[in-house]
Amino acid sequence: MTEPILITGAGIVCSIGLNKEEVCTSLERRATGIEALKYLKTQHTEFPVGEVKLSNEQMCQCLGIPDGVPTTRTSLMGMLALKEALEESGLIGTDLGDVGFISGTTVGGMDKSEQYYIDFLENDSKNEYISTHDCGACSEMIADHFGSFSFITTPSTACSSAANSVILGANIIRNGLADIVVVGGSECITKFHLNGFNSLMILDQQPCRPFDASRAGLNLGEGAAYIVLEKASSARKRGCKVLAELSGYGNACDAFHQTASSPEGEGAYRAMKEALDMACKKPSDVNYINAHGTGTPNNDISESQAMIRLFGEDLPPVSSTKSFTGHTTSASGTIELAMCLIAMQKSFLPVNLNWESKQENVVEPVTEGDYRMPLDNILCNSFGFGGNDSSLLISKWTEENE
């Protein structure tokens, strides 16, 4: 039997909080972060968004980054979240030379590229941002702020990028090639993908309503979150507080369409099943599913079909926290996993905001009622364009597990 992989730290930045404590408060108070656009400069002000409530300048100040250093919004949010994760696991300021870092993104430095693209082409005034455009550059900027990690790479599978970071990190540890790997993702809202999603007609001008019969699309969000994955023996040796065990994970491809999910949710079903099978858990062991639940008509029915098929009568409470944060795209996998860790620690169900009416064949999410309950196993779904579907399972870790 292989050694368990534990979570010994987590950091999160999103529209409902700049750290886990703030996010927890917002989830418990049911306070959404989706509001009118404030920071992104676009003419599409009709779309509400879940922006991180800080300007780039304010983030630079928090991080002690001097003026004139080229940064991107994705990298700044990433640094804020990584800082919290490293602090919690006692890694901040230590030699990171044996610690891996995997950070998913798709947008990368596009916020600056779209701002300075004409300068790139026509003059040499903003050339420093040419090198910050690609996804890998973003991960390196985030990592380099804290020291020298042993390994860095960047999964880019659209909205499941961060979840796939978790899977790669776990596979590295299982191979005995690292004891600690910090995994996650970061993504800011850009005009590029706001317009892209708009051209696909999947943005809602109202606050998104995941799983509701009247749902009409998603709201974009942004943020970053990182999780410290650690081999159990290493966590024990370092005397870390353990947040949970990463007990299972699955990755499957819907193989249906570049920007739509199959009606039966084949990829989603396979990803969730693989995660449960890996952990040797039954559907009835799962206490809560944090759904991908974007609020698009297509995703929510497809995901519902997959959940109904896998869980049947044993379907646990389901909610989509995208009703708080908007769809944080490449970062959503670990932003939502961090929320699951909070929910497990505080024993409460994050609710699904804005839900009013049931639609046939679509699951009815948790909206109210007694939401304090122990959560031993939580499944967290993350699906991306191209049918890149991943599902992560965390389980409560107690001394008896040892």
Partner 1 sequence: MNNRIYITGTSQISIQEPLCEQWMDSPISYDVKYTRAIDPNFKEFVSPIEARRMGLLLKRAVATSYTVMKESGISQPDAIITGTGLGCIENTELFLNALCFEGENMLKPTYFMQSTHNTIGSLLAIRTKSHGYNVTYAHKGISFDSALYDAYLQMRLNKISNALVGSHDEMTPSYFKLLQKVGYVGGDMEGVCGEVSMAAMLENDSSKALCTLHSMRVLYRPSLQKLEKAVEQVLQEAGITMDDVDGVITGINGNRKNDEEYSRYTEELFPVTAKLRYKHLFGECYSSSSLAFYSAVQCLRHERIPLGMVYGNVQLKDRKPEYLLIFNQQEEKNFSIILLGKQI
Chain residues binding partner 1 by CB under 8 A are: 42-44, 97, 101, 106, 108, 113-114, 117-118, 120-121, 124, 127, 130-131, 134-137, 139-140, 143, 148-158, 164, 167-168, 171-172, 174-175, 177, 191-193, 195-196, 198-200, 251-259, 266-267, 270, 384-388
193: annotated active-site residue: no
327: annotated active-site residue: yes
133: annotated active-site residue: no
Nearer to partner 1, 258 or 372 (CB): 258
Nearer to partner 1, 259 or 357 (CB): 259
Which token pair is 138? 């973003």
Closest contact distance (angstroms) between CB of 93 and partner 1 is 18
Closest contact distance (angstroms) between CB of 197 and partner 1 is 8
Nearer to partner 1, 89 or 164 (CB): 164
CB of 238 within 8 A of CB of 231?
A: no
Cα distance between residue 308 and residue 306, in whole Å:
6
Q: Choosing from 159, 188, 240, 380, which is the catalytic residue?
A: 159
CB of 102 within 8 A of CB of 169?
A: yes
CB of 129 within 8 A of CB of 109?
A: yes
In this structure, are strands 288-290 and 318-319 parallel, antiparallel, or unpaired?
A: parallel
Phi, psi dihedral angles at 70 (to 5 degrees): -70, 125
- Which of the 8 DSSP states describes residue 46? T
CB of 8 within 8 A of CB of 84?
A: no
Closest contact distance (angstroms) between CB of 22 and partner 1 is 31
CB of 16 within 8 A of CB of 33?
A: yes
Q: Choosing from 24, 138, 292, 380, which is the catalytic residue?
A: 292
Q: Choosing from 188, 327, 340, 380, which is the catalytic residue?
A: 327
Cα angle 9, 13, 14 (rounded to 5 degrees) comes to 135
Closest contact distance (angstroms) between CB of 67 and partner 1 is 22
Cα distance between residue 286 and residue 386, in whole Å:
27
Residues contacting residue 29 through CB under 8 Å, at least 6 positions apart? none
Closest contact distance (angstroms) between CB of 59 and partner 1 is 23
CB of 273 within 8 A of CB of 191?
A: no
Nearer to partner 1, 107 or 349 (CB): 107
Catalytically active residues are 159, 292, 327
